[in-house]
Amino acid sequence: VLPDILADGGPAPTSLPTGDYPSADALIGAMAGAVAGLRGRYDNIAAVGCGVPGLVDFDNGHVNHITNVAGWGNVPLRDILASKTGLPVLVDNDANCMAYAEFRHGAARGLRNVVALTLGTGIGGGLIIDGRPYRGSSGAGAEMGHVVIDGDGPPCNGNCPNRGCVEALASGTALAREGRTAAEREPDSALGRARAAGREIDGPEIVACARAGDQVAIDLLALVGRRLGVALSGLANTFDPDVIVLGGGVMDAGELLLGPARAELRRRALTPQNEVPVRAAALGADAGMIGAAILARDEISSGAEVTH
Amino acid sequence: VLPDILADGGPAPTSLPTGDYPSADALIGAMAGAVAGLRGRYDNIAAVGCGVPGLVDFDNGHVNHITNVAGWGNVPLRDILASKTGLPVLVDNDANCMAYAEFRHGAARGLRNVVALTLGTGIGGGLIIDGRPYRGSSGAGAEMGHVVIDGDGPPCNGNCPNRGCVEALASGTALAREGRTAAEREPDSALGRARAAGREIDGPEIVACARAGDQVAIDLLALVGRRLGVALSGLANTFDPDVIVLGGGVMDAGELLLGPARAELRRRALTPQNEVPVRAAALGADAGMIGAAILARDEISSGAEVTH
């Protein structure tokens, strides 16, 4: 199910580590340079699509926050990059892009109403409503990582003033936090031994321990999965979607996370919303990039304005 | 802002108390009789619209539950009523109808993306997305009364298997439950004296005490308002709507409830979603009925199928 944009002859992905660039300006300059490099190799590049892991105002193409990268408050990325490249530019939230990629070419292909979440450092959300991306009235919507599942829960990240959001309780960051606590509490578990050996107790380590049969790690992934299922029950009741698609790095846990999440959703949601399929994303880590590219192509070819 | 359907010459509302009819069949028979009576007085009745306070499958016109009325499991109301009246019939959830009425003629007039809640015995939800009612893939969506705000909270109603839904914590039923506890705990409050005098501690009694200055009742409405605000923060983050409209009997509390709800939303939601206006419904108790009528009219005149 590889999208045509990545088929033979299309541009190969180019990777720029954000950490190598000290400021938003420097990174945008490098992005423009990468675009120029691709245009030297391909003659059919018509637009640039950016999927940003953070808060984006789609309507004006501003980036208001990037998870774990400083210096991105109210940056007019779309206009700067359009000016530097001379190409039309689309800037969207990466989870919106992932949702669109899965809708066009992945786990939600051919369906109409899609709720998508990306489970990474944070939790991003993307929505397809009646076959079209839904971004809300000011272009900032679909932030389903910030629905509350425990009103008195822990504070969310610095950019979100809420407490007990599903991001605060079921993101990769939350999983790692719980993992560190569990490793300390259970020194004889595989997770505890990993800690004693000086390994970082993060999502990949927890997933590795769980896959090796460590019950502490398995229970942790199940706990986080159930928390995710609490949020999914509300989203299912609200949207009555055709499918819920879950992607992002934490989904490397596979059924260890997805099974408990699905079970909790089944237990909590109304009939018939409790029957909604919950699927792992099909396009993997490239889904956001693929979605940004095809969104830029589709929104330009449909005549929608994507740059000033 | 009175809708044209209720302007001079339109049919006057007819009221049938559900409690007078021992079964769904009997009530549907009485509804058909009321329609026949109206057709004897008006010659321009083109369709019947039903706004049902419960779970409705819009696509097939089945009613799966009516709050506080037994005997409504999987009743094909649309087809029965169409057969009895010979008219096209539309059956929708009453909160969807209320949302549509407020969108066409009320507090959300002229806007595009609208989240509406009806605060009564339960909490109903209605959505307008991009100027059209959104009902989900199987016609059962927009049940925002059943988003969780406390995963370990009290069980919801018998029809909803969830715990800690906003309906379980901020509906009229929840308000009355908390009111009875508070009246017992605070015998010297106005609420406590009302209880001692044998009055029923329900929503209207709590609102009356709060309006008379009773701090216990005022605090209760604020508590329920804040819980509502927790749910609203998630809905605002998700939909980034133009407006949130709150209606239903509990809204008789006015700013005593709406103020704390709005403040909690402002405190918890992301920027710019935290700025979404939160308005009281403009069409009052008739909003559901008005919405059902104009939905039936609009969906018929647009050629959409409303009956088999």
Does B21 contact A at CB distance below 8 Å? no
Task: Compute the C-alpha angle B173/B178/B184, nearest 5°.
Answer: 130
Q: Minimal CA–CA distance to B109: which of B296, B304, B306, B294?
A: B294
Give me A116's structure tokens: 């998508």
Chain B hits for A136, CB-CB cut-off 8 Å, are 113, 239-241, 273
Does A133 contact B at CB distance below 8 Å? no
Rounded mean pLDDT, B247-274: 97
Bridge partner residues of B54 (DSSP): B66
Shortest CA gap A132–chain B (Å): 11
- Which chain A residue lies closest to B169 (C-alpha atoms)? A151
Decide: B223 and B170 in contact? Cβ < 8 Å.
no
Which residue in the set A138, A143, A270 is minimally distant from B238, CB to CB? A143
- Contact at CB, B231 and A148, closer than 8 angstroms: yes
- Which chain B residue lies closest to A234 (C-alpha atoms)? B147
Which residue in the set A113, A138, A267 is minimally distant from B161, CB to CB? A267
- Contact at CB, B143 and A237, closer than 8 angstroms: yes
B residues 161..200 contacting A (CB < 8 A): 161-163, 165
- Contact at CB, B273 and A240, closer than 8 angstroms: no
pLDDT digits (tens, 9 = 90+) for A204-261: 999 999 999 999 999 999 999 999 999 999 999 999 999 999 999 999 999 999 999 9
A279-295 core/surface letters (b: 16 or more CB in 10 A; e: else): bbbbbeeebbbbbbbbb
Return the SS3 of B214. Answer: coil
Shortest CA gap B198–chain A (Å): 35
In order, the DSSP letters of A73-98 are SSB-HHHHHHHHHSS-EEEEEHHHHH
Strands annotated E in A36-181: 48-52, 54-57, 62-66, 89-93, 114-119, 123-129, 132-133
Which residue in the set B149, B160, B238 is minimally distant from A141, CB to CB? B238
Weakest mean pLDDT among B201-205, B273-277, B283-287: B283-287
Does B59 contact A at CB distance below 8 Å? no
**pLDDT for A294:** 93
Chain B hits for A130, CB-CB cut-off 8 Å, are 129-130, 134
Does A134 contact B at CB distance below 8 Å? yes
Q: Does position B291 have pLDDT exceeding 90, yes or no?
A: yes
In chain B, the percentage of residues whose pLDDT exceeds 70 is: 93
pLDDT digits (tens, 9 = 90+) for B228-247: 999 999 999 999 999 999 99
- Which chain B residue lies closest to A96 (C-alpha atoms)? B238
Q: Does position A308 have pLDDT exceeding 50, yes or no?
A: no
- Contact at CB, B129 and A125, closer than 8 angstroms: no
Q: Tell me the C-alpha distance between A289 and A77, whole Å.
A: 16
Which residue in the set A147, A150, A238 is minimally distant from B150, CB to CB? A150
Q: Minimal CA–CA distance to A265: which of A227, A220, A239, A238?
A: A227
Weakest mean pLDDT among B2-16, B58-72, B203-217: B2-16
- Contact at CB, B269 and A129, closer than 8 angstroms: no
Decide: B102 and B231 in contact? Cβ < 8 Å.
no
Decide: A281 and A124 in contact? Cβ < 8 Å.
no
Return the SS3 of B280. Answer: strand
Class of residue B7 by CB neighbours under 10 A (exposed 0-12, middle 13-18, buried 19+): exposed
Q: Minimal CA–CA distance to B165: which of B147, B139, B183?
A: B147
Decide: B144 and B165 in contact? Cβ < 8 Å.
no
ipTM above threshold 0.85: yes
- Contact at CB, B137 and A64, closer than 8 angstroms: no
Does B9 contact A at CB distance below 8 Å? no
Residue A59 banded pLDDT, cuts 50, 70, 90: confident
**pLDDT for B308:** 37
- Contact at CB, A234 and B234, closer than 8 angstroms: yes
**pLDDT for A1:** 35
Shortest CA gap A204–chain B (Å): 27
Rounded mean pLDDT, A37-56: 89
Q: Does position A90 have pLDDT exceeding 60, yes or no?
A: yes
In chain B, the percentage of residues whose pLDDT exceeds 90 is: 78
| Mean per-residue pLDDT over chain B, rounded | 91
Shortest CA gap B57–chain A (Å): 9
Q: Tell me the C-alpha distance between B169 and B226, whole Å.
A: 10
Residue A284 banded pLDDT, cuts 50, 70, 90: confident
Shortest CA gap B306–chain A (Å): 19
Residue A274 banded pLDDT, cuts 50, 70, 90: very high
The half-sphere exposure of B204 on its side-chain side, counting CA atoms within 13 A, is: 3
- Contact at CB, B148 and A233, closer than 8 angstroms: yes
Weakest mean pLDDT among A88-102, A136-150, B7-21: B7-21
- Contact at CB, B141 and A238, closer than 8 angstroms: yes
- Which chain A residue lies closest to B155 (C-alpha atoms)? A268
Chain A hits for B138, CB-CB cut-off 8 Å, are 240, 272-273
Q: How many CB pairs under 8 A join A and B?
A: 169
Rounded mean pLDDT, A111-138: 96
Distances (CA, A) of A112 to A108, B136, B259: 8, 9, 37
Residue A299 banded pLDDT, cuts 50, 70, 90: confident
Task: Compute the C-alpha angle A253/A256/A260, nearest 5°.
Answer: 130
